[in-house]
Structure 1
Amino acid sequence: MPSTSGLGRQAEQQFWGSADDETFVQAENNMASTSRVATGVDKRSLEELCDSEGDEACLQALDSITGNRENNANNKRLKSHRLAAVTREGFVLTTTGFRGLCKAYYKKKFNQLADYESFLAETKPQLIELLTTLVAENAIKYTLKLESTYKIPSTEVLENRAFKTCARTLLPETIIEDQITDDFNKLLVEEEDMAGKGSGFSLEKIDGILVDVFQYSPFGGSSYIPLPEAIENRKATVNVQNTDQQCFRYSILAKHVTTANPHRVTHYEGMTDRYNFAGISFPTPLSEAKKFEKNNKEVSINVYGFKKGNRTYKNKAKNNIPNHNNEKKDYIIIPYRVCTIEQPNHFDLLYFDDGKGNFHYCYIRNLTRLVGQQMSKNNKEKAICRRCFKTYVDEAGKAQKESRLDEHRRICNKNESVTPILPPPKTYMKFENYGNTQKHDL
């Protein structure tokens, strides 16, 4: 089975999310065991939690399991705890956890507003004020959870329901009002979707809205870091020797430098306005590649990394390598971020670190040359899938390699990006648990 195992620890934390991402998804439940009721804003500084586009996927996965229902014992207890802790209007800090790592604020509905639109309209300026105060100290991630109580049809039984947003990043330069408007619209759409399913549940009351907040301290590209010699020798990259924190900008512009010594910063003078870098922070975290794509039409970005590992060749390994040994220690290229649709102006970037917490981008000018030899010993010119690294060469009696690659992409684009890692030759799986078998009655 294809695997993405072997990512560097820091790179894993940057792309897939840190080991504390479970905290991010389960923060409310975990905080309850280590929480304290608070009456004011906790003055202790928050600590780094995570940097991951994968946070959104985690929360969506959780929602797909639990839906809008909030009726297990733990959720009921947490909701009762929040409602009892809040005794005044506005957002109140109700819980802190992990020594201030996570904080939760709750606004309880005290008035007679009977519909969601009115309650959210009242909440909006208060939430903007809260988030403005928090983001002034440090970038944050937050989630919203709108809690209500519904009555089951033809009964007097009440049931808790909640509507949630995905994890959202808030930076000092973010237009908070626009983002909150988008969040509230998503909550209302989720409520409409539930009502449209025809359950017949009637809204008994709106209880309040919960804001979970986490500090956001992303890794980002930094100044020049030399590539390992083995990768440099592939002559497939442009590694600009910058002394500032703008290696992401240089890596993008490197595509248009065709003179000798493209690694010299002097070649990039006067090119900074070629693309729109508005809202991009320097150093640049991986998560902002999506923002750059939105800023520039017909632009797409893939980001790759590397790890030390074994080459494994799929095709005719016994004939290519003496003694049937198809393993060779080398640097293996790994996809970190692969776009869904490749645009006409496409960029492949390499993202790596120096082992000391400093990260750097460089431009990949020939992905086939960089990756091809880790997938096949065939020295013919290759066409490569940027998502799974499958390679194609021209063969007699078959369609052109580009045509076969296009056919492959129609299927592969539906899948997550992976690095195929094959087992060594003569590796077998053997079934031994015969005690777990059952006789079939013929």
Structure 2
Amino acid sequence: MRKDQLVDLIESKTKRKFERKVKIPTVKEFRKMAKELGLVGISRLSKDKMMSRIEEKLERVRRDKENYFEVKCPKKALRGTMTTWNFNPLVQTDVQTFLERTIPRRKDIFEEVRKKGIKVEVVLKILFVKMNPTDTREDDEKVVYFNSGYKVMNQGTDIVEELKAIDEKIGEKIAQETSEKSGWTLKRLICLYFNTDKYSPLKGSQYIALPKWIKDKKAVVNVGNNDAECFKWAVLSAEYYGEVDPKHVDRVKQYQRWGDELDFEGLEFPMEVDKIRKFERMNPQFAINVFA
């Protein structure tokens, strides 16, 4: 019989109580626990801070279960810039209730990962069924993914309001799927995927060199500007590249002489995509296509 078993036996049979020593896990054991809980970035913390983070995580897990869902350890992709958290329902509820219950947890995740800015996406995986009016065959079933699309959020974002707006968009898509004419009804919520991705907007004055295999074809003019007027130089090069030195079609100074030939009045640089239509109205000879 082990010592701890003997102590338990004596305490159960008598009124005597023994003082027990509480074993504090080692740093190595804390790191192992953190890994199992999906905690990242805490390996260099002190023992006390590490223990505090683990306790916070365990408390979140407890709250999640009270709200009838569990969150799986995050999965990373795209060289670690994109992270996915799986929210699995422990009991079946309607979509709105499930989404509302997960908002506080999604807010916590956002607070943990946000820096200068991130993109957030919600994908809801649902099993639908279409009842067969006869008994000749089984009911039809299908799995559908409802995607909110990415929403950029930063330090000033009201995360709760944005998450509610995202959920409302998904709710509208589900309503279309389950319209009376479709015959499909929701059978089971399978999972909610909460994706966060690093947001790194390009600066308006940032020049991006072409890949070598495109540059070697000499089929694309890519003006190497160092100001915020990328759009202006792209348009001028499209209009006048046949009139410049063919050896230097990518130089700004080759197009400066035509800077006043087109109407850029009232346009601000860097150019926003939704302002391109204004440029087209001012310069009707142009029809701009944007590929990204």
- TM-score, normalised with respect to structure 2: 0.53
CA drift at 1:207:
1.2
Q: What are the superposed Cα offsets for residues 49-101 of structure 1, whole Å, 9 maximum, x if unpaired?
A: xxxxxxxxxxxxxxxxxxxxxxxxxxxxxxxxxxxxxx994433342123312
Equivalent runs, 1:189-200 vs 2, <5 Å: 189-196=172-179, 198-200=181-183
CA drift at 1:177:
1.0
C-alpha distance in structure 2 between counterparts of 1:331 and 1:197, whole Å: 60
Cα distance change of structure 1 residues 150 and 389 upon mapping to structure 2, 3 Å threshold: same
Equivalent runs, 1:270-309 vs 2, <5 Å: 304-307=231-234
Cα distance change of structure 1 residues 153 and 209 upon mapping to structure 2, 3 Å threshold: same
Conserved 8 A contact 1:142-1:213: yes
C-alpha distance in structure 2 between counterparts of 1:38 and 1:303, whole Å: 48
Cα distance change of structure 1 residues 193 and 38 upon mapping to structure 2, 3 Å threshold: farther
- Matched residue of 1:160: which SS? strand
What letter corresponds to residue 153 of structure 2 in structure 1? L
CA drift at 1:307:
4.1
Cα distance change of structure 1 residues 38 and 220 upon mapping to structure 2, 3 Å threshold: farther
What letter corresponds to residue 306 of structure 1 in structure 2? W
- Matched residue of 2:189: which SS? strand
2:12 alignment counterpart = none
What letter corresponds to residue 350 of structure 1 in structure 2? F
What letter corresponds to residue 327 of structure 1 in structure 2? E
1:143 maps to 2:70: no
Aligned with residue 99 of structure 1, among 79, 85, 95: 79
- Matched residue of 1:145: which SS? strand
2:279 alignment counterpart = 386
2:243 alignment counterpart = 327
2:131 alignment counterpart = 153
CA drift at 1:347:
3.6
Q: What are the superposed Cα offsets for residues 286-315 of structure 1, whole Å, 9 maximum, x if unpaired?
A: xxxxxxxxxxxxxxxx983424975657xx
Conserved 8 A contact 1:94-1:105: yes
Aligned with residue 270 of structure 2, among 347, 351, 370: 351
C-alpha distance in structure 1 between counterparts of 2:164 and 2:230, whole Å: 31
Conserved 8 A contact 2:71-2:85: yes
CA drift at 1:391:
5.2
C-alpha distance in structure 2 between counterparts of 1:123 and 1:108, whole Å: 10
2:191 alignment counterpart = 208
Number of matched pairs: 189
Cα distance change of structure 1 residues 208 and 310 upon mapping to structure 2, 3 Å threshold: closer
Conserved 8 A contact 1:147-1:208: yes
Cα distance change of structure 1 residues 89 and 43 upon mapping to structure 2, 3 Å threshold: farther
C-alpha distance in structure 1 between counterparts of 2:187 and 2:266, whole Å: 53
- Matched residue of 1:112: which SS? coil
CA drift at 1:192:
0.7
C-alpha distance in structure 2 between counterparts of 1:93 and 1:387, whole Å: 49
2:111 alignment counterpart = 132
- Matched residue of 1:189: which SS? helix
RMSD over aligned Cα, in angstroms? 4.1
CA drift at 1:219:
3.1
CA drift at 1:150:
1.1
Runs (5+) with no aligned partner, structure 2 = 1-34, 43-64, 133-137, 206-224, 246-253, 260-264
Conserved 8 A contact 2:69-2:90: yes
Task: Report the structure number with the largest CA radius of gyration.
Answer: 2
Runs (5+) with no aligned partner, structure 1 = 1-36, 45-86, 223-230, 232-238, 240-246, 248-301, 314-324, 335-345, 353-360, 362-383, 393-411, 420-442
Cα distance change of structure 1 residues 326 and 126 upon mapping to structure 2, 3 Å threshold: closer
Cα distance change of structure 1 residues 112 and 326 upon mapping to structure 2, 3 Å threshold: closer
Conserved 8 A contact 1:149-1:160: yes
Cα distance change of structure 1 residues 309 and 348 upon mapping to structure 2, 3 Å threshold: closer
CA drift at 1:131:
1.1
- TM-score, normalised with respect to structure 1: 0.36
